[in-house]
Amino acid sequence: MATTNFPKIQGGGSLILAWQVRGRPILVIGGGDVAAGRILNCLDADAIVTVVCPSSGLNPEVAHRVATGVVTHIDRPFEVADLDTTPPPSLVMCAVDDPVASSQVYKECQSRRIPSNIADVPPECDFYFGSVYRDGPLQIMVSTNGNGPRMAALTRRWIGKRLPKNAGRAIVRVGMLRKKLRSVAPAPTEGEKRMKWMTEVCTKWSLEDFCEMSEEDMDKVLTYYAPNEVPSLKEVRGEEETEPEVFDYSFGWWI
């Protein structure tokens, strides 16, 4: 009999993706505090950012980005022609205090099939910004699907406080281990075995183990790949595995 024990569908969510925008043009309309956050997120993702806003509307952070040349600045209000560049913007983010103008931006983007985000107007957003915890390559996004941005920030802080301080370093180490593994077993025919072995290592080892892993540990654990074995960190270091002590009531008084 076929099983029906599948995950329950929970409608009303978003498709949360890690959108790769490296080297792609992104248009930000506005220059205030919200725009500053959008710009920083895009620059962190190595996008090519253009800001459309009169100079008088730039806050100190956005003005600094313009002055240092990390963004292109168009010193005037938005015009529809800003969407018809070659190449066109991959994404548009509008953060201006003008509901009518914002809605017009959304409609123009929709007609051109350009994904857009209109700040503080959830129905006119093709995508939302969540609250992001960042530690090196480690990124964790919390989204409330437009219901409560402050709650997303509270949840993100709660998660961040409970992660090891060097969790980002652990991710870097895993990336290094994968690269070393490719040099040990470069053949295309090894692909399936490599993936399965790395998956088993990541399943057996804890996040704390990866935080502690040194480059010497990496070289040693790779010696277990050929026989297709997955050692613990203690085995790699030649340390004895200790079993937890269990009180069996063999002495003392108990009730």
For residue range 91-134, list pLDDT tens digits in order.
999 999 999 999 999 999 999 999 999 998 989 999 988 899 99
H/E stretch holding 69: none
Q: Is 120 a catalytic residue?
A: yes
Q: Which one from 84, 120, 135, 209 is the annotated catalytic residue?
A: 120
What does pLDDT average to over the chain? 92
pTM: 0.79
The residue type at 65: R
- pLDDT tens readout for residues 120-173: 898 999 998 889 999 999 999 999 887 888 899 999 999 999 998 889 989 999
Segment among 96-105, 206-215, 246-255 with least mean pLDDT: 246-255
Q: How many Å apart are CA 242 and CA 248, to the nearest integer?
A: 17
Domains detected in the chain: 25-129 (3.40.50.720), 130-163 (3.30.160), 167-236 (no CATH)
SS3 of residue 200 by DSSP:
helix
Other CB atoms within 10 Å distance of the CB of residue 95:
22
Q: How many Å apart are CA 230 and CA 99, to the nearest integer?
A: 58
With CA atoms as reference, report the closest residue to 77 among 30, 37, 110.
Answer: 30
H/E stretch holding 74: strand 72-74
